[in-house]
Chain A
Amino acid sequence: MLAFLIRRISQSAVVLLVMSLLVFVGVFYIGNPIDILIAPDATPAEYARAVHELGLDKPLWDQYAIFLKGALHGDFGNSFVYNEPALKVILDRLPATLELAFTAMFIAVIFGIPLGMVAGMKANHWIGRNIMRFSILGFSLPTFWVGLMLIIIFSVQLNWLPSGGRGETVMLLGIPVSFLTLGGLAHLILPATNLALFKTSLAIRLTRAGVQENMQMDYVKFARAKGLSETRVIGLHVMKNIMIPVITVLGMEFGSLIAFAVVTETIFAWPGMGKLVIDSIGVLDRPIIVAYLLITVTMFIIINLIVDIMYSILDPRVRLGQER
């Protein structure tokens, strides 16, 4: 286990280094942020001053070296636009995104897995077929369209829920959260549902396939023969087996929920990281873009690690130390 961890961490360091270089060079070649940031009537002297202050007059490699040196100390540089440490600007937005992603994941799990089990056991029943129809819709409808539909139906027409923003927040362990207030919860429902739609469909399909496969297995027949109740067979034995692929896939998907909630955050004016990075790309705020992508990569690495560990707990045949 320890050897596995050490190997994984050193691999991750290399991945991060390569990633930082790619992103840095890529953003450098898109253009010079100062052309967008500066007032158009600025004099050339003012232009030169701003370029110098932001360190944009140095050659690419110097800029990269400065960045790397800072990054090793946890300093990703100051955002050009906000004039505050890039990491701080991003971490300020992180709770909002995490809250949205967790809620979406929660919705996906509590609806997706039971629905998937029903669909698996009643595959030929009209209920099962309708669940599958729903999951096809969930897969194929574009997020932005569903988001706008949700707003039009629930905010504009019915006037039940707010159309965007985060609403009231309260502090929980020093982090602002909105799911503990009624107003905050009302703001959370639509974007979380929008974000959860795809993942719910995914959970339905994975669970259904798992159920159908496991129901044919000998251990199910054996358990039934032993006289175990149907609830116990499905709720414990089958469940445990189908959870392995479901956890693996949903775990990896959770990373993408956090990293790519961009569309949902933009449509619902949700003040999270996704919206921040889109705004930052628009004005080429390099420190934010680079820091954001590195944080995302780190997050994927950590999530994969956790998934691997959970996998080995659920299925003892998987031994972490011996994957070669």
Chain B
Amino acid sequence: MAENELIWRIAGGSGDGIDSTSQNFAKALMRSGLNVFTHRHYPSRIRGGHTYVEIRAKDESVNSRGDGYNFLLALGDSFARNPKEGAYYGDEEVKPLTENLDDLREGGIIVYDTGLIDPDDVPDLDERAEENNWHVFGIDLRSMAREHGREVMRNTAGIGVTAALLDMDLDEMENLMESAMPEKILEPNLTILHEAYEMMQEEYEFDHELRVPQGEHEEDQVLISGSNGVAYGALDEGCRFIAGYPMTPWTDVFTIMSQHLPEFGGISEQVEDEIAAAALALGASHAGVKAMSGSSGGGFALMSEPLGLAEMSETPIVLVEAMRAGPSTGLPTKPEQGDLEHVLYSSQGDSNRLVFAPSTPSEAYDQTRKAFELAYEYQMPAIVVIDQKLSGENENVPESFFDREPNPDLGSVLTEEELEDAPHDPSGGTFNRFSHDDPEDDGVRPRSLPGQKGGRFLVTGNEHNEAGHIEEDPDNRVIQMDLRMKKLESVRSELDSDPESSHQTYFGPDEADYGIVTWGSSQGAVEEAVDRLNDDGHSVKAVGVSDLMPYPEEEMTAFLESVDEALVVEMNATAQFRGLTQKELGQFGEKLTSLLKYDGNPFEPAEIVEGFELQINGGTDAPSANTRLEPAIGD
């Protein structure tokens, strides 16, 4: 059967240049008019260790990695060989081939490097190939690379072989290599690319059906990761200060910002720890600059105290929480949506933070901008939650999407002229920054910035009076507390008042019997599953939720009322989003079944399809070994 999509997996040792090669290949596919989606899998190891990148290319839109794949390029792990003894580290050397076979679709293609992989070490390769109708090509990519350049260039040989097998034009790949590679390595790479391509055409007869699909874009496209989305959203919203401490996968956002902030006239600081990082963001914001920080679970735990200070002192900041599987250091390079409650409730006292969870790179851009806008308008911390999956996956987005105005507006800040008329304490020069009057009735009292004439005030993490002085008076406490808490309600009504700008994504038919609810990066797989379920005759619609705090009460109530039952899909073991939904809405407990996955890998659409079918048939057994169904309460 001819497939309308290519899912190409390049597997090898981490550190073998798989990332850059696949990035170029994905761009070549995008330039040829296809929609692409990349997924990256890597171990928590710097060099060596089995890793792969998957590129899915289709004429229609793609927003998930899909199920399985249909083309394997197995490169061999050059770091697996122990140089001293000429020995192998276990079976690392053949892992690129053995580890990947389970997911390869029927009729798929395998290309492996005979220079590094001995097929005799791969159990049952021939039998399995025959059973699954795989087309297997053992090619000495290593020798080809060595002959014309260096061994690492076997990636390029693999691309040449791929292009020949899929009947692809080499032009785009050549152009990309020309712009990405320095002269010295460009020539040998081009030679290798052509050599491999021509060799395949001359020496092999192809009887496989897989070809690269045909497509066309109406607009210019760019290939953007979730981390790019967050960083570019921050830059366009006028963020000019970042402080951070490395932790996977947050490091991606931090790195992109650090690379560009100086050229954008901003400041990036790598500091001693995450407490300092968040505290620096607070200091910069207090002084009048849009500032951000962020981390992953463990580092975010350290930020909970400065986060509380941001709430109490009403200092706007944006924090990014790039989740990975926990608890503790967990699975450092694997995704999970397990930090939801941590992000919503960590730090002392009643929380009045904003939390957004984008699901795609383009949403990451939009919602990071929204996070800054609202944080500065309402003088409160906003958290953008992403995860290892979203941070590393790439998607093509029309270039024009980024054609937006920058927004350097600091929100509720008074100018010196305005300060002259602002309330001051009669006995001194102090500006009543925390005045009991609420000019807009939204909880926000405009601030001044250090250095402004006539604007001086004190701010403290303790409860304080109008001028910002420590104050334990019960009446003042209640007023200040209520004003702070009111801001969250104000944001909720601001978001509700403009349905056009809803952050929730709806898909499937308008009317349906069943619903699927998901949040953050699991959305792509759910979208695809919903299409398949409806094609199979089910009646399903779904919502991907991005507003976590304030929770979209009205929208979710309407959605859940309109369906008989709903499946809540999320990557954690304790059904945290379902818990949030029930807590916020105070109902629907009996309608919600959870489909959970926490093995370190994101959902594949087929798992959701299967989970759904089991659920509507009243089943409770998990659809696969690595997922779990959690029945509705009272079921």
The answer to whether A and B interact is: no
Please report A residues at the B interface, Cβ cutoff 8 Å.
Answer: none
